[in-house]
Structure 1
Amino acid sequence: MSKLRIASILFLLSTFFLKFSSMFRDIIIAKLFGNSYVTDAYIAAMTIPNALILFMLTGMKDAFLPSYYKYSQLGKGFSHLTNIVKGTFWISFVISVAGALLSPLFIPKLYPDFNNHGTQIAIWTAVIYFLSVAIVGVNAVYEGYFDAQKMFSFSTFSQTIVVLCTIGGALFLHRPMGIYSVPFGYFVGTVFSFLIKLFYLGPRRFIDWKQPMDREEVISFYRIFLPIGLTIAVGQVNLFVNTLFAARLGEGAVSTLNYAFRLVSIPQAIFGVTIATIVFPLLAEAKAKNDMALFKAGIEKGLTYMFLFLAPTVAGMLVLMKECVQIVYERGAFTASATAQTSEYAFLYIGSVLFYSIQAVIAKGFYTLEKGHYMLRAGIVSIIANIIFNAIFSSMIGAAGLALSASFVGLVYSLITFTTLYKITGGFRLSVIGKEYGKITISTLAMVAVLLLVKYELHADRLAIIPYLAFMIVLGAAVYFVALWVFKVESVKEILTKKRRKEVS
């Protein structure tokens, strides 16, 4: 078995663990604090520094990987790592201090509808998250470095540590600290994640401590990084815009929308982002070899494999949405009425999962070609579209309109980015992609038809919820894969052929 295949399997498993631990974090928050104004204040405040955190984490990884490859070919990989770590630390430190000091000023202005207690929660939540940014920046560089070494699982593991510490903070400190236990746990997690990287690499392999920072090299890197990072932050900017709208729609709107979005985004994170991340090094190698045919084939495979796994998962969630919300969240402070409302919002969010997963693969193509500015332009258009759609749909159907808006914005964003990359690269084999998508869609519809028949005609939903969900998931998977075999889906054949070749060898 090749090292890349082993790394890919480990990464998929570690991503599953990361996303389910993230879901468990949300379950704990829902159980302890429900969809109250306390949770609203926490989520609204953390959205702002979290945009910077994701700006560093995801953006840095996407920019650093091709940059590291380029310098490694010149024998300067470690030197480049040292320069970017030192430069990023100082930039992140300034942002961290500035954000913490300014939080008491801008939080009350952004969320004037919060009561005094909610405002105080929001301020201190923002302060704690901003203080984490300095460490997050350095962590982000090393996670990009581990990805460049095809150590995907280690990078994901370090993020999982942060989530587990956040969970631990909520579980063990919620009585004395209340909702503050959540951001405090996150801060501890970022420090712990950094120490693990330092211990794993050792001081000598961590950075060249004596090497002076090459400012020109850092500036050159950030010219590439900034468009990528800003593009990554577009999603968070859109979430922030949604939060501003939601905060004016009454208690519970912010937190309930957040719970719905977190739940439906799990398939996107597991399949869309995982496949995009695995494809990225292959695209970078194709670019280094100046092999455009291989590059385009990588994009085509990424889009096909992503849809192969994502389509049935999303469709299954649509059929079982209420039950999914119920089993995940409904306990403690999270009531049955919150379940009903969350299910409605989650149903409307589902389009964004598909479209942003497509966009995740396409984005890797832009970043590999060092044309992230195209993504930034599309991102700016999506922000404008988000404001317009939010204003229209929220005025028509309230908070549910914000979820619906996210799906429309995802559609606009993915269309713009795909057509742009299509023009830049000279086109993809649309007939091949379309044929595969058609077969996968028919297979997915066959699965949905069987599930609906069993649910409503055979009344399988009268079973206890856990056996019911287990039965429906197994049945749906069986029907889907039988349909894939009947319709001779090529991507499935390729996966099975590779497996047989591996067994023979």
Structure 2
Amino acid sequence: MSKLRIASILFLFSTVILKFSSMFRDLIIANYFGDSYAVDAYIAAMTIPNAIILFMLTGMKDAFVPSYYKYKELGLGEQHKSHIVKGTFWVCFILSVIGIIISSPLVHFLYPNFPTKGLEVATWTAIIYFSSIVMVGVNAVYEGYFDAEKMFSFSVFSQTLVVLVTIVSAILFHQNLGIYSVPIGYFMGTVLSLILKFLVLQPRKKFILWKQKLDINEVKMFYLIFIPVGLTIAVGQINLFVNTLFAAQLGEGVVANLNYAFRLVSIPQAIFGVTIATIIYPMLAEAKSKNNIPLFKKGIEKGLVYMFLFVAPTVAGMMVLIKPIVRVVYERGAFDTDATLMTSELSIFYIGSVLFYSIQAVVAKGFYTLEKGHYMFRIGMTSIVLNVIFNAIFAHLLGAKGLALSASLVGLCYSVITFSTLYKLVKGFNKRYLVFEYGKILISTLLMASIVFYISKLVFIQSLNIYVMLLLVICMGALVYFASLYLFKTSSFKELLNSNKIKIRKMN
């Protein structure tokens, strides 16, 4: 089995653990605090610095991988990494200080309707998250380095460590610290994650070239590429922030339930969409470094097909079974039946965003590999404008459900524009391959969803324990889906069954 195949499997496994640990963190929050004003305040405040955190964490990796490959070809990979680590430390230090200073006035300006206690929670939450940005930025560079070296699983594990420390902090200190136990745990997690990287890399003298003088010009050149990439990555978080601003005006619990719904339905995107996009990224970067555009195009095509192969049935199954899924995942402790009903309804409207942003995650790697991140930046800014307009319209018509619907519509526009733009840039993809594969997968998904819906309504099935019912229905749905893929002779599915590795080969 190839090293890439092993790395891909480990990465997928690590990503599943990361996503479910993130879900478990949300379960802990829901159990201890429900959809109270404290959760509303925490989420509302966290989205402000989190836009910067995602800007650094994900954007840095997307910009660093091709940059590192370019310098590595010249034998200067380690030197380049050290320059970016040092430059990022100072950039993030400045951002942290500014964020801490403006936290209080910013929270009071954005959320004037929050009660006094809610404003206090929001202010301290923002301060703690802004304080963590220094560690987040430096961690992001090293995680980009691990991705470039195809050490995907370790990169994900270091992120998982942050989530696990957050969970432990919430469990141990929620009675004494309340909701503050969550951001404090996150801060400590970022510190421990950086220490872990030091322990792994320093013995091999690959942590940092301590005595190397900072090359400011090299850092500037990198950030000219990174900033539009990072801002583009942060677009999703900015749109969530816009949603939060609207949601905060709709009453207690709306912010919390929107967040619970979004976190739940985004699992397929995080596990399959982001994972496949990350796995193909080094392939695309190597193709670009060798100026092999046909190989680059086939990499994008494969990424889009394999993403849809896994995301489509998962999304369809969630739509059919959303209420029992929400009950199993969230309904305990302070999270009651009313919260389950509201979260289930919101989840349905969010579902579209999962598929569309998964497509966009793959397509975006193409832009970044070609160093055309400015296209993504322009499209991202357009999506923010659309999000504000759609929020204003649909929040007025549908309330909280309108905000979730707005996210799906923005995702649709975003994916259509990004794909069509990349299509023009590379002068087309293999349309026949994409249409036939997507068609077979879509038909198989519809058959699966129909069977799952029918089975789930049977009296015998509904009389079962909810956990047994879900397990049985999901297994039967998976059986129908994979059998349909096989009968329709779906080439991507056959390749998974028959090949030792996912090959990028000539497609007729």
Q: TM-score, normalised by structure 1?
A: 0.98
Partner Cα distance (1:132, 1:453) in 2: 49
Deviations 1:263-295 (A, max 9, x none): 000010000000000000000010011000000
Partner Cα distance (1:337, 1:500) in 2: 47
CA apart distance, 1:461: 2.2
CA apart distance, 1:493: 1.3
Partner Cα distance (2:206, 2:381) in 1: 39
Give the aligned partner of residue 259 of structure 2: 258
Give the aligned partner of residue 410 of structure 2: 409
- Structural mapping, 1:14-33, within 5 Å: 14-33=14-33
CA apart distance, 1:215: 0.5
Partner Cα distance (2:360, 2:380) in 1: 11
Decide whether the 8 Å contact of 2:495 with 2:502 is kept in 1. no
Partner AA of 2:209 in structure 1: D
Partner AA of 1:349 in structure 2: Y
Partner Cα distance (1:501, 1:424) in 2: 25
Give the aligned partner of residue 80 of structure 2: 80
Partner AA of 1:303 in structure 2: L
CA apart distance, 1:258: 0.2
Give the aligned partner of residue 60 of structure 1: 60
Instruction: Tell me if 1:368 matches 2:369.
Output: yes
CA apart distance, 1:499: 3.3
Partner AA of 1:490 in structure 2: S
Give the aligned partner of residue 162 of structure 1: 162
Instruction: Tell me if 1:291 matches 2:308.
Output: no
Decide whether the 8 Å contact of 2:21 with 2:160 is kept in 1. yes
Partner Cα distance (1:497, 1:477) in 2: 19
- Structural mapping, 1:294-443, within 5 Å: 294-443=295-444
Partner Cα distance (1:68, 1:458) in 2: 58
Give the aligned partner of residue 471 of structure 2: 470
Partner Cα distance (1:368, 1:460) in 2: 49
Q: Secondary structure at the match of 1:112?
A: coil
Partner AA of 2:187 in structure 1: F
Instruction: Tell me if 1:98 matches 2:98.
Output: yes
- Structural mapping, 1:214-253, within 5 Å: 214-253=215-254
CA apart distance, 1:112: 0.3
Partner AA of 1:210 in structure 2: K
Give the aligned partner of residue 198 of structure 1: 198
CA apart distance, 1:500: 9.4
Deviations 1:104-157 (A, max 9, x none): 111101000000000000000000000000110000000000000000000000
Partner AA of 2:265 in structure 1: V
Partner AA of 2:21 in structure 1: S
Partner Cα distance (2:268, 2:493) in 1: 19
Give the aligned partner of residue 7 of structure 1: 7
Partner Cα distance (2:160, 2:470) in 1: 27
RMSD over aligned CA atoms reads 1.1
Decide whether the 8 Å contact of 2:452 with 2:474 is kept in 1. no
Instruction: Tell me if 1:36 matches 2:24.
Output: no
Question: Structure 1 59/501 Cα, relative in aligned 2: closer, same or farther at 3 Å?
Answer: closer
Partner Cα distance (2:270, 2:407) in 1: 16
CA apart distance, 1:457: 4.0
Partner Cα distance (1:357, 1:75) in 2: 35
Partner Cα distance (2:43, 2:23) in 1: 15
Decide whether the 8 Å contact of 2:165 with 2:189 is kept in 1. yes
Partner Cα distance (2:459, 2:352) in 1: 29
- Structural mapping, 1:125-144, within 5 Å: 125-144=125-144
> What residue ranges of structure 2 are gaps of 5+ in the alignment?
504-508
Q: Secondary structure at the match of 1:320?
A: helix
Decide whether the 8 Å contact of 2:5 with 2:501 is kept in 1. no
Partner Cα distance (1:462, 1:408) in 2: 37
Question: Structure 1 196/264 Cα, relative in aligned 2: closer, same or farther at 3 Å?
Answer: same
Q: Secondary structure at the match of 2:335?
A: coil
CA apart distance, 1:459: 4.6
Which portions of structure 1, spanning 4 or more consecutive aligned residues, are displaced by more than 6 angstroms? Answer: none
Deviations 1:198-226 (A, max 9, x none): 00101632111000000010000000000
CA apart distance, 1:458: 5.0
Q: Secondary structure at the match of 2:500?
A: helix
Deviations 1:328-354 (A, max 9, x none): 000000000000000000010000000
CA apart distance, 1:453: 1.4
CA apart distance, 1:432: 1.2
Partner AA of 2:141 in structure 1: V
Question: Structure 1 100/475 Cα, relative in aligned 2: closer, same or farther at 3 Å?
Answer: same
Q: Secondary structure at the match of 2:252?
A: coil
Partner Cα distance (1:463, 1:226) in 2: 53
Give the aligned partner of residue 181 of structure 1: 181
Give the aligned partner of residue 494 of structure 1: 495
Partner Cα distance (2:189, 2:76) in 1: 31
CA apart distance, 1:501: 11
Give the aligned partner of residue 115 of structure 1: 115
Partner Cα distance (1:2, 1:79) in 2: 29
Give the aligned partner of residue 153 of structure 2: 153
Deviations 1:7-38 (A, max 9, x none): 00000000000000000000000000000111
CA apart distance, 1:317: 0.4
Decide whether the 8 Å contact of 2:166 with 2:186 is kept in 1. yes
CA apart distance, 1:494: 1.4
Decide whether the 8 Å contact of 2:51 with 2:238 is kept in 1. yes
CA apart distance, 1:463: 1.2
The farther-off stretch of 316-325 and 198-207 is 198-207
Give the aligned partner of residue 45 of structure 2: 45
Q: Secondary structure at the match of 1:251?
A: coil
Partner Cα distance (1:455, 1:473) in 2: 10
Q: TM-score, normalised by structure 2?
A: 0.98
Q: Secondary structure at the match of 2:155?
A: helix
Partner Cα distance (2:471, 2:287) in 1: 42
Deviations 1:374-431 (A, max 9, x none): 0001101100100010000000010110000000000000011000000000000112
Partner Cα distance (2:149, 2:95) in 1: 29
Partner Cα distance (2:241, 2:497) in 1: 43
Partner AA of 1:464 in structure 2: N
> What residue ranges of structure 1 are gaps of 5+ in the alignment?
none
Partner Cα distance (1:242, 1:500) in 2: 41
Question: Structure 1 263/500 Cα, relative in aligned 2: closer, same or farther at 3 Å?
Answer: closer
CA apart distance, 1:449: 1.2
Decide whether the 8 Å contact of 2:273 with 2:311 is kept in 1. yes
